[in-house]
Amino acid sequence: MDPVSRREFLIVGAAAGSGLLLGWHMADARPAAADFAPNAFIRIGTDGRITLIMNQVEMGQGTYTSMPMLLAEELEVGLEQVQLEHAPPDDKLYANPFLGDQETGASSSVRAFYEPLRRAGATARAMLVAAAAQSWQVDPASCRATKGVVLHGPTGRKLSYGVLASKAALLPVPTQVPLKDPKDWTLIGTPAKRLDARDKVNGKAQYGIDVRLPGMKIATVAASPVLGGKVAGFDEDKALAIPGVRQVVRLDDVVAVVADHMWAAKQGLAALAVRWDDGPNATVSTADVVRGLDEASQQPGVVARSQGDAAGALAGAAQRIDHVYQVPFLAHATMEPMNCTVHVRKDSCEVWTGSQTLTRAQATAARVTGLPLEKVVVHNHLLGGGFGRRLEYDYVTQAVRVGQQVEGPVKVVWTREEDMQHDFNRPYYYDRVAAGLDASGRPVAWTHRLVGPAIVARFAPPAFKNGIDPDGVDGAVHLIYDIPAIQIEYVRHEEPVLNTGFWRGVGPTHNIFVMESFVDELAAAAKADPVEYRRALLGKAPRARAVLDLAAEAAGWGRPLRTGRGRGVALLYSQWGSYLAEVAEVEVSNAGEVRVHRVVCAVDCGTMINPDIVKAQIESGINFGVSAALWGEITLKNGRVEQSNFHNYRVLRMSEAPAIEVHLVRNNEAPGGIGEPGTAVTGPALANAVFAVTGKRLRALPLERQLRG
């Protein structure tokens, strides 16, 4: 997605009581600084306490460490001096400039706040220095800031930020405060310790599901197992007979059992034996979805990228290769199941949850209750996994609907089964790819027609332009190989039998699998080495070529492997602005089991705020990608999701986890996204490795089902 606006106003004010507040507005946002007082990004109290109000949410990606690092570097304070608060919902104050609202996603936090947070820190520091200089009646240039203190060099006098905060707040906001030269950074670029780690190892970390309130009830729910179905009936008396069950709430498509604790709620739900009217999707199966996609793929799509005469070049090529690639529906399966606590009163509504889109959570509560936005208070929490699932607010909507029927606060907790069967799944995509090779095997034409729903059209309508879902085509339109004729087409095909949404790695997780598998096919057709073949097409892409070389070298590409093992390579470049190359080493058993022994990933994501967090995100992304590529699929039968828990939606475990080596390229390029690309580059590296071992080209996922099927 394009950044909607990078213009911000730095604004400053006195903190309630005293101290210094600093923040910024998006252009065209709230104009008057007077409105600003209760909320700001940075608060420096008279006690010297520095608080960063976090608009980006922590779901494991390390943003609660990387964001304060940006601030602390320029503010000249130690990272340990910065305290964090979850931001309340407010798009005007806290919008992510890349996404347009208060949203954490698209691997965008560092890219969005790299400059604004440093600028805010530098501006605050300049004002604190100016305040000290004024107190001492000296030239500000003779003062410097360090570790939360301003020093006057010639006399050795010092004043702490806390003492200076109120005075600084009254000074004019300087414009054009220069940012540090990267060579002078002392914090950015270091493997600083995560600020959220301690509470996550001692049980104190508070996730949405941990909320406890006086008088709170706990509810668990069953929503229609078929999208569009309704409640037909249930045995309410049997549920109410269970000790601890207080109430059964019936909505048209959901039943909730409200109880003193989850155990009673679960038993109550089972006792209800809910009957459903399945509605129009009652007989739908995965095969029906695939049939619809196949039909849609027969027609041309909207052209998302065009270069040269692809049709002509294909027709005139010495060799033409055509294939269909498919990827299945996937569940997010965050470790923390969906949950939301609400207290709906006549004139107000309070919500406690973990959300990647806090203002959407607030808005849906307002819509459901009919209350004005300002009467809806939302408290955010740490997220026990996001992966895109908590960009949606369906679980908030549902909890508020339930909460309207309940006296006092109620925590609605989904069972794992409910979570897995009511996800916003990664869509099923169906792609037609074709390439023409010249007599030497070099590609002269590349066409890629991808077919799937437009998530963006639902999620962020203004970003859906000219019939193109910019996320759906992400990666596909970034094809980085030097091929003279390219045509990328997008066919929007909605199949409303299952909700679909963003899933870690978004567009590229699908597109890079297709593209990098297909490039591998072209290399095989040209009887070329997969690394050498790619390398020859990267003459105009030095950063991509460098990561490819680095990964190949580190992985020992070309060196002999034990019998039964093979290596596969994949390359990634997309909207995230990061370059990744990965080499996976796998073994395939006669029974079609794939064992991933080793994964080597080379990463150039430009400037790194915290290289250890970058490394952790790559490790994480790879393992997430291994689960999906080997086993991940959500299937439909009679309109119902067939998978329900971790026994039939298999995910990677310790004994199956590969050795992972991450090699980071250091440079001063603009920062790229890093939370998702590790996932997107892994599927094709594994598929290509399976090809290297077995000679079988798998054009659909998951790999193990294809090997057995």
Partner 1 sequence: MVTLRINGKAHIVNVPPDMPLLWALRDVIGLTGTKFGCGMALCGACTVHLDGQPIRSCVTPVGAVGSKNVTTIEGIGATPSGKKIQQAWLDLEVVQCGYCQSGQIMSASALLASKAHPTDADIDAGMSGNICRCGTYPRIRAAIQHAARAASPAKTGG
Decide if residue 425 touches partner 1 (CB under 8 A).
no
Nearer to partner 1, 680 or 692 (CB): 680
Of 93, 130, 486, 652, the one binding partner 1 by CB under 8 A: 652
Q: Which residues contact 373 (CB under 8 A, 6 or more apart)?
A: 362, 363, 366
Written as one letter, the residue type at 705 is: R
Nearest-approach distance from CB 708 to partner 1, in angstroms: 22
Q: x/- string (CB under 8 A) for partner 1, residues 430-469?
A: ----------------------------------------
Rule CB under 8 A: say whether 36 interacts with partner 1. no
**Backbone φ, ψ for residue 233 (5° rounding):** 170, 170
For residue 171, state whether it binds partner 1 (rule: CB under 8 A): no
Residue 194 interacting with partner 1 (CB under 8 A): yes
CA distance 140 to 127: 10
Instruction: Give dist(CA 82, CA 54) in Å, integer.
Output: 11
**Near partner 1 by CB under 8 A: residue from 157, 651, 696, 705:** 651
Output Rg (C-alpha) for the chain, integer angstroms. Answer: 27
Residue ranges of the alpha helices (H) in 98-196? 109-136, 161-169
Pick the piece of the chain touching partner 1 (CB under 8 A) from 186-194, 317-325, 557-565, 699-707.
186-194
CA atoms within 13 A on the CB side of 197: 8
Q: Is 180 in the site for partner 1 (CB under 8 A)?
A: no
Would you state the structure tokens that stand for residue 626, as one six-digit string?
A: 């291994």
Q: Shortest distance, CB of residue 56 to partner 1, whole angstroms?
A: 14
Angle between helical axes of 358-369 and 394-403 (0-180°, round to 10): 30
Q: Are the C-beta atoms of 432 and 449 separated by less than 8 Å? A: yes
| Dist CA 458 CA 500 (whole Å) | 10
Q: How far is the CB of 624 from partner 1 (least distance, A)?
A: 6
647 binds partner 1 (CB under 8 A): yes
Helix then strand then coil, % of the chain, to nearest 5? 35, 25, 40
Residue closer to partner 1 by CB (options 254, 264) is 264
**The tokens of 669 are what?**
């390029």
Work out whether 391 is an interface residue with partner 1 (CB under 8 A): no
Is residue 614 involved in binding partner 1 (CB under 8 A)? no
Query: Which residues have a Cβ under 8 Å from the Cβ of 136 and sit 6 or more positions away?
Result: 143, 152, 155, 157
Told to check if 318 binds partner 1 by CB under 8 A, we report no
In terms of phi and psi (left: phi > 0; alpha: psi -120 to 50; beta: otherwise), the region of 580 is beta
Query: Binding segment for partner 1 among 221-229, 401-409, 511-519, 619-627 (CB under 8 A)?
Result: 619-627
Question: Residue 199's closest CA among 191, 210, 188?
Answer: 210
**Binding of partner 1 by 45 (CB under 8 A):** no
Q: Tell me the C-alpha distance between 270 and 437, whole Å.
A: 60
Q: How far is the CB of 325 from partner 1 (least distance, A)?
A: 25
From 13, 23, 45, 60, residue interacting with partner 1 (rule: CB under 8 A): 60
212 forms part of the interface with partner 1 (CB under 8 A):
yes
Q: How far apart are CA 282 and CA 662, in angstroms?
A: 47
* Contacts with partner 1, 218-257, as mask; x by CB under 8 A: x------------------------xx-------------
Write out the binding residues for partner 1, residues 329-368 only, by CB under 8 A. 333-337
Q: Which residues bind to partner 1, rule: CB under 8 A?
A: 58-62, 191, 193-194, 196-207, 209-210, 212, 218, 243-244, 260-263, 266, 333-337, 382-387, 413, 415-416, 612, 616, 619-624, 626, 645-647, 651-657, 659-660
